Amino acid sequence: MKFERPDGFVSDLPNCGITALAVVTGQDYETMRLWFEKAMGIKRPGAWKGWTKSSYYEKALRHFKVRFRWAVPAGASIALGAFSEMHTLKSATYLIRIPGHVLVLRDGLVLDNRGSEPVKPVEKYRRRKVTHAWIINP
């Protein structure tokens, strides 16, 4: 799996969910965007603004035949920085949901619609609580 924004990436939408799911499924941006439009029942062209719901992430992973499992115990409350430092396996890829954002995490690097950067200096995300975390292809 490539650890970079997907082919055909479009930067003018709130599209972190599309971007993260495209990365972990190995799909291009347009394929994932169209899948979300269909799954979410968006009927009018241009009506959708790019937001996604976490309830669709596991559906997308199953649809694209990606193995995954939960990586955070139910009810856990842990900051992204601490999760990255203490609860991840080397070279493992994680799909992470924090309030208002979705990203991919691997070896202390965050990949989202802004690009790839280390978790530690990203103060905007480092202290945000992980609400959902899936390890991809465990």
User: Given the structure tokens 């969910």, which residue do they identify?
Assistant: 17
Q: Is residue 60 situated within a structural domain?
A: yes
| Whole-Å CA distances, 11 to 51, 75, 102 | 13, 33, 15
Instruction: Assess whether pLDDT exceeds 80 at residue 88.
Output: yes
What's the CATH number where 117 sits? Answer: 3.90.70
Give CA separation, 88 vs 75, 92, 96, 105, in Å: 18, 7, 12, 9
Kindly report the average pLDDT of the chain as a whole number: 88
Structural domain for 109, as ranges: 16-136
Identify whether 33 is part of a domain.
Answer: yes
Residue 87 belongs to some domain of the structure? yes
pLDDT tens by residue, 42-85: 877 677 777 888 889 999 999 999 999 999 866 678 899 889 98
- Structural domains of the chain, count: 1
Examine residue 4 and state whether it is found in any structural domain, yes or no: no
- The pLDDT of residue 123: 67
Mean pLDDT lowest among 30-39, 49-58, 93-102: 49-58
What number is the average pLDDT over the span 5-19?
A: 86
Q: Is residue 96 part of a domain?
A: yes
20 inside domain: yes
Above 70 in pLDDT, residue 101? yes
Q: What percent of the chain has pLDDT over 90?
A: 47
CB of 110 closer than 8 Å to CB of 118: yes
Instruction: Please state, in angstroms and rounded to a whole number, the distance separating the CA atoms of residues 131 and 27.
Output: 24
